Amino acid sequence: MRDPNDTILLLSLRCNNNCRMCAIGDESIKDISTSDAKKLILDFKKRGLDTVCFTGGECTLRKDLEELVGYAKAQDLKAYIDSNGRNYSSSNFSEKLLKAGATDLSITFLGVGKVHNYMARRPHAYAEVIKGV
Ligand code: SF4
């Protein structure tokens, strides 16, 4: 369960899934810049919050995610990664995030096997999530 001090930082509306129940749908908005994301993280710290939850869309599509997690850690903030889990199947990806300071990596399961793939509209999504786990 999330703490009331958690703050959600939506890094991107982009996603590598196309879930049937997604609330984002076809929305297309430019990603927040690295420098603006850092300004918000600093603002969270100044407001006395203790956690930032990186989310999206799919926040692991961001090339600067490791950098932003490290920045949150440098501000002494706990960093959660809220993900559909597919990119954790890439070698060392989750390890890099943990080394950068991520305190929690959450993964969404939409069902088991074909049900997950059906819901995500991606034929290999479940296998990738399991590999990442
Ligand atoms: S993983 Fe999340 S953001 Fe991506 S399509 Fe599914 S519900 Fe939407």
pLDDT at 1: 56
Q: Is residue 56 a part of any domain in this protein?
A: yes
* pLDDT per residue as tens digits for the range 46-74: 999 999 999 999 999 999 999 999 999 99
The enclosing domain of 59 has a CATH number of 3.20.20.80
Q: Pick from 11, 12, 17 the residue to mutate for probing ligand 1's pocket: most ligand atoms within 8 Å of its CB.
A: 17
Q: Is residue 1 a part of any domain in this protein?
A: no
User: What does the angle CA 48 – CA 49 – CA 51 come to, to the nearest 5 degrees?
Assistant: 150
Q: Is residue 45 a part of any domain in this protein?
A: yes
Q: Is residue 69 a part of any domain in this protein?
A: yes
Which pLDDT band, with edges at 50, 70 and 90, does 101 fall under? very high
| pTM, rounded to two decimals | 0.92
pLDDT at 21: 95
Q: What's the gap in Å between 20 CA and the centre of ligand 1?
A: 9
For residue 54, give the H/E element and its range.
strand 51-56
Q: Is residue 19 a part of any domain in this protein?
A: no
Q: Is residue 18 a part of any domain in this protein?
A: no
Number of domains in the chain: 1
Query: What is the rounded distance in angstroms from the CA atom of residue 129 to the CA atom of residue 133?
Result: 6
Q: Is residue 122 a part of any domain in this protein?
A: yes
Which pLDDT band, with edges at 50, 70 and 90, does 26 fall under? confident
Ligand 1 pocket (Cβ < 6 Å) reads 15, 17-19, 22, 24, 56-58, 84
Residues in the chain: 133
Q: Which domain holds residue 57?
A: 6-13+26-132
